[in-house]
């Protein structure tokens, strides 16, 4: 056997062995991946809140979503209760005399203000941070009506400007 033949055999053996190892590694990776289900355990960001008739005029607090939903006639808007300081749940306090203000360029009847019990941040009725350590206003979230059953829907991943109103 010539030295040339041995080198060729050795080369072919190494190529074959390398391909075999690569195939086994690929198969092992595919097997491991199959053990991880293709589902997301993150909470859904779009949540049905109930039918419009379940929301009386004024404020309704939804503890599960930590959300204040306001209704004035056929118009809705939603403000997060999550304090922008360290995430405690802010509380709403009814104003002794509600006022109408331009909010985001549109008139809004303000009936409440907000206060955080953790470190005392205060917010005005449109969610603007007024005092305390809160660095930003409370978030406003997008509202819509569900196409299938007409329920009010909030998208907690979609912040909106303060001129947002849903009219039903």
When the beta carbons of 87 and 107 are compared against ligand FES, the nearer one is 87
DSSP-assigned letter for residue 54? G
Q: How far is the CB of 120 from ligand FES (least distance, A)?
A: 6
Q: How far is the CB of 106 from ligand FES (least distance, A)?
A: 28
- Both tokens of 38, joined, read 């293709």
Q: How far is the CB of 135 from ligand FES (least distance, A)?
A: 10
CA distance to 14, 15, 34, 54, 75, per residue, from 67 (Å) = 64, 63, 38, 15, 16
When the beta carbons of 56 and 135 are compared against ligand FES, the nearer one is 135
Residues that bind ligand FES (CB under 6 A): 83, 85-88, 116, 118-119, 121, 132-134
Q: How far is the CB of 61 from ligand FES (least distance, A)?
A: 16
When the beta carbons of 65 and 84 are compared against ligand FES, the nearer one is 84
Question: Which residues lie below 8 Å from residue 129, measured CB to CB, with a gap of 6+?
Answer: 84, 121, 122, 123, 135, 136, 137, 138
Angle made by CA atoms 118, 70, 75, in degrees to the nearest 5: 155
């Amino acid at each position: 056997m010539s030295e040339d033949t041995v080198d060729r055999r050795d080369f072919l053996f190494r190529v074959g062995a390398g391909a075999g190892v690569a195939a086994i590694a690929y198969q092992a990776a595919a097997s491991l991946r199959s053990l991880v289900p293709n589902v997301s355990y993150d909470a859904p960001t779009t949540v049905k809140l109930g039918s419009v008739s379940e929301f009386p005029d004024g404020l309704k607090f939804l503890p599960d979503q930590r959300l204040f939903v306001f209704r004035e006639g056929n118009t809705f808007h939603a403000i997060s209760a999550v304090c922008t300081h360290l995430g405690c749940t802010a509380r709403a306090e009814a104003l002794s005399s509600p006022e109408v203000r331009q909010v985001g360029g549109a008139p809004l009847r303000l009936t409440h203000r907000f206060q955080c019990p953790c470190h005392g941040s205060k917010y005005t009725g449109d969610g603007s941070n007024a005092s305390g350590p809160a660095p930003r206003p409370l978030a406003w979230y997008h509202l819509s009506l569900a196409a299938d059953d007409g329920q009010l829907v909030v998208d907690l991943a979609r912040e909106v400007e303060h001129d947002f109103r849903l009219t039903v």
